[in-house]
A and B are shown apart, each in its own frame.
Chain A
Amino acid sequence: MKKLKLILPMLAFIFAIALSFAFENATEEVDYATKYVRVGSNWHAIEVDCGLGSSQCVVIFTEDTSETPYQVYNSQDLEDEALGSTDIKPIEGPAPSN
Chain B
Amino acid sequence: MTDLKNRFMLMLSDEPTAPNDLESIVSAGRRARRRRQAAMAAVSTIGVAGLTTAVAVPIAMTGGTGSDDKVGVQAQQKPSPSPSATRGNCYLIAAKPKAAKLTLQRFVRSGKVGDHPEVTQMRALKDGRTVLQVCSPGASASQPTDEAAEPPTGPPYHYTEQPEDIAARLGAHLTNRVTNWGLDITYTRPFAQETSTLEKGHPAYFDGNVDVHEAQGYGDIGVQVTHKTTEQVPFTGDCNAADNCEETTLDDGSVLRTGEVKAGPGLTVVTAEVHRPDGVVVQAQMSNYPFGPDAGTQDHGDQPLSLKQLISLAQDPDFTF
Judge: A and B partners, yes or no.
no
